[in-house]
Structure 1
Amino acid sequence: MQMKQLGRTDLTVSKLCLGSMTWGTQNTQTEGHAQIDRALERGINFVDTAEMYPVNPISAETTGLTEEIIGNWFAATGRRQDMILASKHSGAGFKNARDGAPISGQTISQAIEGSLKRLQTDYIDLYQFHWPNRGSYMFRQNWRYDPSSQHKAETLDNMAECLEALEREMQRGTIRTFGLSNESAWGTSQWLRLSDAGHGPRVASIQNEYSLMCRMYDTDLAELSVNEDVDLLAFSPLAAGLLTGKYQNGAVPEGSRMSIVSDLGGRRTDRAFAAVQAYLDIAQRNGLEPVQMVLAWAMQRPFMGSVIFGSTTMEQLDLALGSVEITLNDEVLVEIDTAHRENAMPY
C-alpha cells in the first residue's frame, strides 16, 4: 500500500481510504466491522466518515449510526491507534443535525463532542466541514451556479470565527488537523489566507467528488493543491458505481445504489452510459479490470492525497484493494484522456 503525507501535517495516510457511508443502511454493523478488518489487514490505515452518515437513504433515524458502528469497532478491538480517522461537520441546511444551523464557532464544539461520543474516542485525526455555508457548485449545481448572492464580508468573518474555534479544539486535543469538503478554489484560498494571518489551523485537504466522469478539480483546484500542499481526497471515484459497468444496458442490480436512488444523484444520463462504455472498452483493450483501472488512475493524479472508495460486499472490497498493484502506462493514460475529451462532463 502506498502512503502519503497529508498536506503539511504529520499524518501519513494510505493512498486508498475506506469510505463508510453505507454502514447502517446498505451494510450491517457486522459487515462494516469486517470491511475495516480486511482493509487494515491489506494496508489501509485511513477511514472516512461523517456525522450525517449513513446515506442511501438519509433519515433522521439513522443519522450518526455510521459513527456509532466505528465506535463499537474501537471498543471491541482496542485498535484506535491503528486508524487515521476522518469525520465531518454537516453544513447549513442539514435538518437532522442542530436543526440545520450553519457551521459556526458555536456549533463546532457541539458537533465534535457528538462525534467523539458516537465514535468512542478522544480525538478525530482529520475534521472536515462537509460543505460551505455559502453553498457549493458540487452535486450537479455547477450547471446553474450563481455566487452573486454571497456576502463576502460575512463569509470571511465566519471563516475566521470557525478557524479560531478549530484552534481551540486542537489545543484541547479533540482534533489533529482540519480539512474542507465540496469547496472551491476561491473558498480554499481564503481559508489558507486567514490561517496564514493567524486565525487558526491550515487546511490539509479538500474532499471533493472526482472521477473519470467528474473532473472539475483538474484546473484551478489542481493548481492550488500542488502549490499550496492541500491534497485532494477524492470521493465517488467510481461515479456512484457507474464506472464498474454494473448499470450498463439498463441493469439495476438488487441492493445497488441505483435501486435506492434511481438517478444516482443526477449522474444517470444517456451521456453517462456512453462515457462509461468508452472507459470499459479501454480496460478491455488493455487487459485491465475496470474498477482497478479507475482507482489506479485516480491514485496516479499529481494532486491526490487519498482515494475514498466504498463497498457493500467483501468481493467488491477485495477487487478495489487490488488496484494498488496496478500502475497505468502512458499509452493507457493517453487513451483515457482522449475518452475524456470526447465524453467530458457527462452529467
Structure 2
Amino acid sequence: MKYTKLPNTNIEVSKICLGSMTWGQQNTEAEGHEQIDYALDKGVNFIDTAEMYSVPARPETQGSTEKVIGTWLKKTGRREDVVIASKVAGPGDMVSHIRKDLGFHKAAIEDAIDKSLKRLQTDYIDLYQLHWPERNANFFGKRGYEHEADEQWQDNFREILESLKYFIDKGKIRHIGLSNETPFGLMRFLEESKNDLPRVVTVQNPYNLLNRKDEIGLTEIYHRENVGLFPYSPLGMGTLSGKHLDGVKENTRLSLFPQYNRYSNEEAVKATREYKKLADKYNMSLTHLALAFVNQQPFVTSNIIGATSIEQLKENIESIEVVLSEEILEGINEIHNSIPNPAP
C-alpha cells in the first residue's frame, strides 16, 4: 500500500480508501466486516461513509452503513487503526426522511454528528464532510450550473465554518471536507477560513476516465491551495470495469438501481470501449487502467473504491501496484480529447 497525509494535517491515510455505501443494502453486516478485515490486511486504513448510506437512500436503511462500521469497531476495538470519514446530508427530497431541517446550521449539524457517532460507536470522526451544497449547484449528474432567480439560499459560508469549529473544539470531529462542490464553493470556504476558522482539507467529487470535469477549474485550486481531491466513483459505478459493455449485468448496481444511469449514455459507452481497447493493448484489466489513472493524479489524496464482493475488492486494491507509463497516459488523453467528459 502507498500512503499520504490529509493535506495540512498529520493524519496518514492509505492512497486507497474503502468505500462503504453498499453495506446494509447490497451487502450484509457480515460482508461489510469481511471487507474491512480484508482491506486492513492489505494496508488500507481509511474508510468513507455518510449518514444517508446505504444507497439508494431509503428511510428503512438510513444509517445502516455507519452501524456496520460501528459493530466492527466494537467487535475489534481497532478504532486507532482506522481513519473514518463521514458526511452530513444537505437539503433534498431524497433525504427528507433524515431530518425535518436539512440546512447546515449548528443544530442540524449537531443532530447529524451525534447520531453518526452513536451509530459508529466512536467518540470522534476524523474527516467530516458536507455531502452536497445547500445552494443550487451542478452536482449529481449535472454538467453545468443553471442559476435559479428565485433561489432562497443566503450566503452562509462563515456561519457553517463557525459551527464546524464548535464541534472541532468539542473533539467530536477532527477535520472538515466538502463533497460535490464547485470552484466557487471551495474558494469561498477557503477565504472564510482565514478568519481563524477551520480549513477545508479535501473535496469528495466524482472523478474518473468518463468524468474529469474537476480538471477544468478545481484542480488548479487543489494544487495552489493544498486541498486534496477525495474522488468517488473512480469506476463510474462499475461501468469502467467493462462488465456492462455487452449489456447491463444482472444483480449489479446498474441493474438493481437503473436510476444511476449517468455513466450509461451512448458517448460514455463509446469512450469505455476505447479505454477497454487501450487496456487490452497493454495486457491489463480495464479496472486497473481506470483506477491506476486516478491513483496517479498528483492532486488525489485517496481513491475511494467500493465493491460488493471480495473478488472485486481484491482487484480494486491491487490497482495501487499498477503504474501507467507516459505512453499509456498519452493514449488515455487521446481518447479523452476525442470524447471529453461524456458522463456528467
Aligned counterparts of 2:148 and 2:211: Cα–Cα separation in 1: 21
| Whole-angstrom CA distance in 2 between matches of 1:340 and 1:147 | 31
Give the whole-Å Cα distance in 2 for the aligned partners of 1:302 and 1:76. Answer: 36
Amino acid at match of 1:163: L
Instruction: Please say if 1:112 is aligned against 2:113.
Output: yes
- CA contact 1:180–1:203 (8 Å) conserved in 2: yes
- Cα distance in 1 for partners of 2:164, 2:144 equals 33
The one of 314, 320, 323 equivalent to 1:324 is 320
Residues 1-347 of structure 1 correspond to what in structure 2 (within 5 A)? Answer: 1-55=1-55, 57-93=56-92, 94-143=95-144, 145-146=146-147, 154-155=154-155, 158-198=156-196, 200-250=197-247, 252-347=248-343
TM-score, normalising length: structure 2: 0.96
CA distance in structure 1 between the aligned counterparts of 2:121 and 2:169, rounded to whole angstroms: 20
Q: Classify 1:147/1:183 alpha carbon distance in 2 versus 1 (closer, same or farther; 3 Å).
A: farther
For the residue of structure 2 that corresponds to 1:127, the secondary structure is: strand
Q: Which runs of 5+ in 1 are unaligned?
A: none
After TM superposition, give the deviation of residue 92 of structure 1 in Å.
Answer: 1.0
CA positional deviation for 1:149: 5.0
Deviations 1:229-267, CA, capped at 9 Å, x for gaps: 1100000000011000111122x2222001112242432
TM-score, length basis structure 1: 0.95
| Residues 298-342 of structure 1: CA deviation (Å, up to 9, x unaligned) | 011121111101000000000111101111000000000001111
CA shift for structure 1 position 106 = 2.0
Structure 1 residue 143: deviation in Å? 4.6
d(CA) in 2 for partners of 1:100, 1:328: 46
Output one character per residue of 1:203-249: Cα deviation in whole Å (capped at 9) or x when no partner.
00000000000011112100000000110000000001100011112
Higher helix share: 1
CA offset at residue 161 of structure 1? 1.4
Look up the SS of the partner of 2:205 in the other structure.
Answer: strand
- Whether the 8 Å contact between 1:170 and 1:176 is mirrored in structure 2 is yes
Q: Secondary structure in 2 aligned to 1:240?
A: coil
Runs of 4+ more than 3 Å apart: 147-152
Deviations 1:145-172 (A, max 9, x none): 33655578x22xx221111111111111
Q: What do residues 22-57 of structure 1 show as CA deviations (whole Å, max 9, x unaligned)? A: 0011100000000000101001110000000000x3
1: distance between equivalents of 2:101 and 2:148? 21
1:205 alignment partner AA = T
Equivalent pairs counted in the alignment come to 341
**Residue type at the aligned position of 1:48:** D
SS of the residue corresponding to residue 204 of structure 1 reads strand
Q: Which moved more, 1:103-112 or 1:15-24?
A: 103-112
Q: What SS does structure 1 have at the residue aligned with 2:126? A: strand
Q: Residues 87-136 of structure 1, C-alpha deviation per residue, up to 9 Å, x if partnerless?
A: 00000122021125211122111110000000000000000000000032
Structure 2 residue ranges without an equivalent (≥5):
none
Which amino acid counterpart does residue 106 of structure 1 have in structure 2?
A
Secondary structure of 1:214's aligned partner: coil
Tell me if the contact between 1:108 and 1:162 (Cα under 8 Å) persists in the aligned partners: no
* 8 Å CA contact retained: 1:210, 1:235: yes
Q: Is the 1:292–1:323 contact (alpha carbons within 8 Å) kept by the matching residues of 2? A: yes
Instruction: State the AA in 2 paired with 1:291.
Output: T
Tell which deviates more after alignment, 253-262 or 301-310: 253-262
Contact conserved, 2:85 with 2:126, CA < 8 A, in 1?
A: yes
CA–CA separation in structure 2 for the residues paired with 1:150 and 1:196: 27
RMSD, aligned CA: 1.4
